[in-house]
Amino acid sequence: MNVRPTPLLLALLLAASLPAQASVQKPTALRALQVTPASVPARPASVPGQVQPVAPGTLAAPRIPQLTLDPNMPEVQKVEYLSNGHIEVAGAVVTLEQPEQSCARAVAGAVARRVLAARAQLDEVDVSVYDKGTYGGFGGPSPLLTASVPRDRLNDFLAWTAGQGTYERAWVSTTPATPPLRAPDRVRELTVNFLGSVADKAADAVHHTTAKVLGGVQGGLLYHGSSRESLAALTFDDAPHPMYEPLVLDTLRRAGVHATFFVIGRNARAYPYFIRDMAEQGHEIGNHTFHHVRLPPLTPADVKQELTLTDQTLQGITGKPVRYFRPPGGDYTPATLRAAEGLGLTTVFWTDDPGDFQNPGVNVLLERYTRTLRRGGVVLLHDNAPEMLQVLPMFLRIADARNITLDTVGVLVKPGAQNDHRPAPTRARPAPALGPVDVTYTTQP
């Protein structure tokens, strides 16, 4: 579509060429043992996905630092940034009016350059460009363009935005921005819930009891592995998320740990380069439906569609079949299981859910992690929980100290069956000694 840029966009691109300065909005320090955030009531989203899933008892999340560009770029809605203690990554959200969207690449390039110039500590910026008229947050209509721009790849990205060459860490939508087919469910996993007849529940109880005794897959379900092996599965739900994914993957790489990521199909489609990163680094990728919807209310045909779309998306990115599936909310029925089995998927639940998305405070979260860690366990985390990101390195060291190897679901099911083709775990540097937990959310000037 050949549309002439508006005067506003021309002014934006002109401003992008000016020297960049930044002012940082510094959040109030949050110490988990000293501050008790107020409860956050669950409210319906005005636009599907605009509000992240909220469960009862959820507390206010730590305030994420934001970067303000000077001079201002009016299309930039926000720039947030986080660190895992080793690298720092920013996430920039950009919205464009329809006449400006023909220049989306140029705007994305200007934003990436300005953000990286504004804060020297940043190692990467992830840019998401949306249609301004339909923007509804991360779970609303899909972005028009996304890109992951490490600082050392900025020139490559800028060349691509100028129409020169290719850039493999960018995605451009080929369809107009439309609301998702199904609104994302707003309640995250808390408990495993089987819905069915009395006879169905009795059969499910037998599978569950057998799994407790024997471990492993029973009746197409995995509740936990064998307690005879010094193994536990580390899993992340709802991936991938910009800004968070590079930090989680870097943390796992430094610890030499592999995990299973249960991926939302529409997220994977918009951020395929993060899925490739997971696969190339030896992680396992599972199915978490295409829209993150609870499946029991859907028809069998719709359930199959949710799973099939996700499988097709993931296989198209990685070239590998998908073997494992986790139902959003932990809700499932006999029809859910039949749909999963029909696609060759094992349904995976969990034993350890510390509730990282409830923002309980880093000390509480670490205590939950360590209290429930066990042989044969399946640990459930969320890749976009800020407090999880702070506590994860300490949790990985505790598991190592207890001689419990954290690995993928596939390894838990078949100990010793690690993929011979995946990279060997390597530590980037020796882990610091485990000390007392005292995490404060602050920023550096």
Q: Are residues 153 and 286 in the same domain?
A: no
Q: Are residues 270 and 403 in the same domain?
A: yes
User: Is 356 designated active site?
Assistant: no
Read off φ and ψ for residue 54, nearest 5 degrees.
-125, 130
d(CA 83, CA 445): 14
Query: Number of structural domains, the chain?
Result: 2
Q: What span, in angstroms and rounded, lies between the C-alpha atoms of 111 and 104?
A: 10
pLDDT of residue 64: 93
Instruction: Report the predicted TM-score, pTM, of the whole model to 2 decimal places.
Output: 0.81
Is position 17 within any domain? no
Are 221 and 134 part of one and the same domain? no
Res 130 pLDDT > 70: yes
Q: Which among 126, 156, 237, 407 is annotated as catalytic?
A: 237
Q: Are residues 133 and 197 in the same domain?
A: no
Q: Are residues 272 and 361 in the same domain?
A: yes
pLDDT at 38: 34
Residue 189: pLDDT band with limits 50, 70, 90: low
Q: What is the pLDDT of residue 48?
A: 33
- 197 and 146 together in one domain: no
Flag whether pLDDT at 279 surpasses 70.
Answer: yes
Is residue 432 domain-resident?
no
**pLDDT > 90: percent of the chain:** 59
Position 363 in a domain: yes
Same domain, 202 and 274: yes
Q: Which range (74-88, 154-168, 179-193, 397-411) has the least confidence?
A: 179-193
Give the type of residue at 291. H
- CATH code of the domain covering residue 135: 3.10.310
Any domain includes 384? yes
Query: Quick one: 144 and 74 in the same domain?
Result: yes
Same domain, 235 and 93: no
288 assigned to active site: no
Q: Over 80: is that where the pLDDT of 444 sits?
A: no
Residue 164 is part of which domain span?
62-179
φ/ψ of 225, rounded to 5, equals -90, -170
Look up the CATH number of the domain holding residue 257. 3.20.20.370
- Report the alpha-carbon angle 296-221-420, nearest 5: 125
Question: Are both 149 and 198 inside the same structural domain?
Answer: no
What value, to the nearest 5°, has the Cα angle with vertex 268 and ends 441 and 386? 10
Pairing relationship of beta strands 221-222 and 378-382 according to DSSP bridges: unpaired
Q: Can you give the pLDDT at residue 178?
A: 56
Burial 373-412 (b: 16+ CB within 10 A, else e): bbbbbbbbbbbbbbbbbbbbbbbbebbbeeebbbbbbbbb
**Which of 283, 382, 383, 407 is labelled catalytic?**
382
Contacts of 205 (CB under 8 A, 6+ apart): none
What would the two tokens of residue 63 be?
A: 């305030």
Q: Is the pLDDT of residue 53 over 60?
A: no
Confidence at 304, pLDDT banded by 50, 70, 90: very high
Q: What is the predicted pLDDT for the residue at 202?
A: 74
* pLDDT, tens digit (0-9, with 9 covering 90-100), for 334-356: 899 999 999 999 999 999 877 78
DSSP 360: -
Mean pLDDT of the residues in the chain: 81
User: Is there a domain that residue 149 lies in?
Assistant: yes
The reply to whether 271 and 372 lie within a common domain is yes
Q: Is residue 167 part of a domain?
A: yes
pLDDT confidence bin for 219, thresholds 50/70/90: confident
Look at residues 148, 179, 210 and tell me which one is the last residue of a structural domain: 179
Please, how many CA atoms are within 13 Å of residue 60, restricted to the half-sphere of its CB? 11
Q: Do 175 and 217 lie in a common domain?
A: no
Query: Does 217 reside within a domain?
Result: yes
Predicted local distance difference test score (pLDDT) of residue 352? 81
Q: Is the pLDDT score of 170 beyond 50? A: yes
What per-residue confidence (pLDDT) applies to 324?
A: 98
Crossing angle of helices 386-401/244-255, nearest 10°? 10
Sign of CA dihedral 231, 237, 243, 244: negative
Half-sphere exposure for 34 (CA within 13 Å, toward CB): 9
| pLDDT band, residue 143 (cuts 50/70/90) | very high
Query: Is residue 351 in a domain?
Result: yes
Helices (H), 4-100: 7-16
pLDDT-wise least confident of 105-109, 162-166, 218-222, 421-425: 421-425
